[in-house]
Structures are given as structure tokens and as C-alpha cells.
């Protein structure tokens, strides 16, 4: 790959006090790619995503998105450039309907109320299979519906890059397939997707390429077959 990486993470480091959470991690992601990010608990996956989305500042390295250096941009500016992420722990406004939960980020992203905003929210809810629940309070949602709403909220900013942080944890196998289908569909519509996931079957099926973190270092990168056959990756998971 040459200079035109869509997202170019260059030797990013992050410390929490004396603890090194990320040590010079580099990633290059192509536009339209389905990229998997895996690694044992505590290996730095969420921290890396926080650095990419701007929730956290890096201590070193650079992050370039579509040829723009975003390393020091605040999160809301990165969101406006097209970077969205779902949170590992969904936090919707439980006393609001699903529709209202989506109207807030849509209006925020557009910086204005416009007449099409309800249609747009309904469209996104439809995309994640929650169209019929638009007027239900989000407190009444099941776990999988909550995950879908979390993805819908990330979609509100019309992102070019969507990072899904463990959207499948704790779901049944059929529900995992349901979320997978949504992510495949979003990717078909041109959205680049980074999937962080503990459910191997899902990451392997979804990802064109996978990077593996262990203790804040990238220990492997390659296609699903390559990763499955990698002894260093196997050791990292066995040690968990």
C-alpha cells in the first residue's frame, strides 16, 4: 500500500500513568475495507479506537485520515470528518424513544434541524432492523436491540469509517449473525468497517484483514487463514 491509505495509524503510543497501553502500533486501512481488530482482554483494542476517534489523546505517533493529520483534532471534529464508533457499553437515553435517541445525534451532526431529519432517523432504524420499534422507549429494549440502537447512533453522523467495539458480546449465535448481516450491509453501502470482536467465528467471516494486539503491541496482521495459523496469536489467546 502506498501513501493513499484511508486511515493511517503511525506508531501510536498511549500510556496511562506508568502503564504502557499501546506501544508504537501502526495500522493502514483501505477505503471500503472490512478490518478485524482482535486480541486478549486488556490488549489495547478499545484504547486504540479511543485514540482514533479522539476520545483519548495519543502520547506519540500520528493518525492520518484521508490525507489529513487528525492526531490532535478533538473527537467532534473527527466525527465530522466521518469517523464513528459504537461503544462497548451502550448508553442510550433510556427514557426516550428510539427515534428520539437518533434525532439527537443526527441534529448534532448536521448542526441544524431540517425537515428530513425524522425520515433520515427512520431510514437508519430500518437499516439496523429497528424500524418497527421507533416509538418504543429504549429502556424496553432487549440486549441485541440495544446493540442495534448503538450501531444506529453511530450511523447518525453518516460516517465513512465505522468502528464496532464488541457489538456482539453476550449474544446468541443467531443474534451474532443478525449483527454481522447489518455490518456487511453497511459495508456494501461503502462504509469502511473496523470490527473489534471476541467472537472468532464472526471476525474470521467478516474481515478481509485482521490485526492482532497483545499487551499493546501488534503481534500479527494478515488474512483470516493466516491469523488462524499464527502460533504467536494462538499463544496470546492461550495465555488469557
> Which value, to the nearest 10 degrees, does the dihedral of the CA atoms of residues 206, 138, 133, 108 take?
-80
| Burial zone of 177 (CB within 10 Å; 0-12 exposed, 13-18 middle, 19+ buried) | middle
The DSSP secondary structure of 156-211, one letter per residue, reads TT--SEEEEESTTTT--HHHHHHHHHHHHHHHHTT-EEEEE-S-HHHHHHH-SEEE
For residue 23, state whether it binds ligand ADP (rule: CB under 6 A).
no
What minimum distance in Å lies between the beta carbon of 144 and Mg ion? 19
For residue 41, state whether it binds ligand ADP (rule: CB under 6 A).
yes
Number of residues that bind ligand ADP (CB under 6 A): 10
Q: Which of 44, 54, 90, 129 touches ligand ADP by CB under 6 A?
A: 44
List 194's β-bridge partners, or say none. Answer: 35, 163
Binding mask 46-75 for ligand ADP (x = CB under 6 A): xx----------------------------
* Partner from Mg ion, ligand ADP, none binding residue 95, C-beta < 5-8 Å depending on class: none
* Partner from ligand ADP, Mg ion, none binding residue 82, C-beta < 5-8 Å depending on class: none
Through-space distance between the first and last CA atoms of the chain, rounded to whole angstroms: 33
For residue 21, state whether it binds ligand ADP (rule: CB under 6 A).
yes
What are φ and ψ of residue 27, in 5° steps?
-145, 140
33-62: contacts with Mg ion (CB under 5 A): 45-46
- Which residues here bind ligand ADP, judged by CB under 6 A? 16, 21, 39, 41-47
Amino acid at each position: 500500500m502506498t501513501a493513499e491509505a484511508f486511515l493511517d495509524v503511525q506508531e501510536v503510543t498511549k500510556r496511562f500513568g506508568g502503564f504502557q497501553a499501546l506501544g508504537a502500533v501502526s495500522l493502514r486501512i483501505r477505503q471500503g475495507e472490512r478490518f478485524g481488530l482482535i486480541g486478549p482482554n486488556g490488549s489495547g483494542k478499545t484504547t486504540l479506537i479511543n485514540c482514533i476517534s479522539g476520545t483519548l489523546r495519543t502520547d506519540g505517533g500520528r493518525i492520518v485520515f484521508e490525507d489529513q493529520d487528525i492526531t490532535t483534532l478533538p473527537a467532534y471534529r473527527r466525527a465530522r470528518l466521518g469517523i464513528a464508533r459504537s461503544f462497548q457499553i451502550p448508553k442510550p437515553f433510556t427514557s426516550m424513544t428510539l427515534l428520539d435517541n437518533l434525532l439527537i445525534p443526527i441534529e448534532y451532526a448536521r448542526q441544524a434541524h431540517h425537515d428530513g431529519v425524522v425520515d433520515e432517523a427512520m431510514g437508519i432504524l430500518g437499516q439496523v432492523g429497528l424500524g418497527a420499534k421507533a416509538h418504543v422507549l429504549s429502556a424496553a429494549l432487549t440486549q441485541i436491540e440495544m446493540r442495534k440502537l448503538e450501531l444506529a447512533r453511530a450511523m447518525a453522523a453518516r460516517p465513512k469509517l465505522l468502528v464496532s467495539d464488541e457489538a456482539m458480546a453476550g449474544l446468541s449465535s443467531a443474534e451474532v449473525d443478525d449483527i454481522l448481516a447489518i455490518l456487511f450491509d453497511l459495508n456494501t453501502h461503502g462504509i469502511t468497517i473496523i470490527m473489534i470482536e471476541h467472537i472468532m467465528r464472526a471476525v474470521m467471516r467478516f474481515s478481509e484483514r485482521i490485526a492482532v494486539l497483545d499487551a499493546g503491541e501488534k503481534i500479527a496482521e494478515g488474512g483470516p487463514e493466516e491469523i488462524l495459523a499464527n502460533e504467536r496469536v494462538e499463544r496470546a489467546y492461550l495465555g488469557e
